Amino acid sequence: MLHANDLSPILPAILTSLLDADKDIVHVVSPHYSGLTSAFISQGFRGCFEGTADDIPAPERAEECSVFVGIVPPPGARKEEEAIVSFIRRSLASSVHKLYLVVFHNVLFSNRIELRSYRKELLRKNAVEASIMLPERLLPYTALGVSILVLDNDRSSASHDCMVNFIDASGLDGKEVQALVRAGKREKLRDYVRQALNYTNPDCVSVDARDLILQDASLLASAHCLTDAQKKARSLLENFHTVKLGDVVHFFRPLLSNKDRKGEKLNVLNVAQFSSFGYTKPEPQAEAYVEHGGKTDQLIQPGDVLLCIRGSLGKVAIASDAFSTDDPWIASSASIILRPARKEYDPRLLFLYLRSELGQELLKKLACGATVPMVQMKDLKQLEVVIPPLAEAESMLRDFEEEVALSEQMEKLERKRRELAARHWSLSH
């Protein structure tokens, strides 16, 4: 029976399959999870092994190691950023040629100063060879995603090879890996893993480290690799005139509620109330206290487009004319208010675009977050928005108004149905 910190066979199987027991002399470090060092030992790897007390006792170190394999400290460790950076620095300082580090996704995309600065430092040194996103739930006791960060100690900043390889292997079949492990089919397992995680794979994306430095130094594979649907979306965009979302709308963050219940009591429009069809209407369900209310731009106005940017990512709504500053409403803290910055830009077109399959795929591409999907504001402002030709825009708006009329008819029919259902043997009369 597995203990809480025991690794399932999948992660050790992937790591051992990437290396060669006949050539690679490994230094394996897994202080928080048992099962990694024993997996390498059982596959006949030589080297130095550091693991938990539950791992197989390590043999004596016979010769200098050439490859370092390790899992960085889990989130929640004291001074987490410092622990992660220190772990990687110590690993790089050894005499190994190459490092395979299992890291949590926040290490690869977080905007926290220490982690982002260190990613840039690694890129300037040209030490980053690859970032490989792995399937979900590979580590026990956490739902946080992990990737393999491959670092090369032999590449210098002066090297002509400055490309970083990105592979999204999140679709790797864990059940297939486990089945091959149980059956002892090591060669077939190695072929399966290496084929999926090969730099020559057509889905592998290579980006110049210097370009990554100029951007936000994100090393998360999903930020660079495209799904089939996203490839289709990118191809479709090439046929349209587009602008950046930040050039056509103003962004307003919702007013924050006061936990001490002080200030003005306002209605809250939660993401669950967003209507996917037609307009979203003010139907009171939740309230919050806001200290600095008043007639601020952060209140919901008619025609506002509301977009969920955390959790139910991409859920979108457009506010009906029933919203009024005389009866002020605030948006959920998980959403953002988008209000056209140009009078000629109809918010209904933005709602239709963000709601569409094209818009949803582009929003998914922006997603990050270790546990809860989210979009960062700087990325959202760069979202490409299609500006349709006048005739097409008018056709879209006619369709939308027909949709609104149908929605209103359906609401009337639903009310009538409820009335009929409650007419007999009701306990409320």
What is the structure's pLDDT at 3?
45
Token pair 């050439």 is found at: 66
CATH number at residue 248: 3.90.220.20
Q: Is the same domain home to 364 and 287? A: yes
Please name which of 148, 235, 179 lies closest in space to residue 10, comparing C-alpha atoms: 179
Q: In the block, which residue shows the tokens 């490309």?
A: 163
What is the sign, positive or negative, of the torsion defined by CA atoms of 318, 320, 321, 322? negative
Q: pLDDT digit of tens for each residue in the chain (429 aa)?
A: 334 468 888 999 999 999 999 999 999 998 888 899 999 999 999 999 888 777 766 666 556 899 999 988 776 655 667 778 888 888 888 889 999 999 998 889 888 888 889 999 999 999 999 999 999 888 887 878 899 999 999 887 666 789 999 999 988 998 999 999 899 999 999 999 999 999 988 889 999 999 999 887 889 998 888 877 888 888 888 888 999 999 999 999 988 887 777 888 888 999 999 999 999 999 888 888 887 656 688 999 999 999 999 888 899 999 999 998 778 899 999 999 999 998 889 999 999 999 999 999 899 888 775 556 788 888 899 999 999 999 999 999 999 999 999 999 999 999 999 999 888 888 876
Is 342 among the domain residues? yes
* Domain range enclosing 257: 243-387
Tell me the residue ranges of DSSP E strands in 53-204. 67-71, 98-104, 128-133, 146-152, 163-168
Strand-pairing partners, residue 384, are: 244
DSSP state of 273: G
Number of domains in the chain: 2
Q: Are residues 299 and 213 in the same domain?
A: no
193 and 301 assigned to the same domain: no
The DSSP call for residue 197 is T
Residue 204 sits in a domain whose CATH number is 3.40.50.150
Residues whose CB is less than 8 angstroms from the CB of residue 135 and which lie 6 or more positions away in sequence, other chains included: 10, 169, 170, 171, 172, 174
Report the alpha-carbon angle 234-235-238, nearest 5: 90
Do 276 and 127 share a structural domain?
Answer: no
Domain match, 133 and 31 both: yes
**pLDDT for 146:** 92
- Residue 90 belongs to some domain of the structure: yes
- Which of left, alpha, beta for 79 (phi over 0: left; psi -120 to 50: alpha)? left
Whether residue 289 is found in the same domain as residue 214: no
Please give the structure tokens belonging to residue 173: 């079949």
pLDDT for the residue numbered 295: 66
Is 113 within a domain? yes
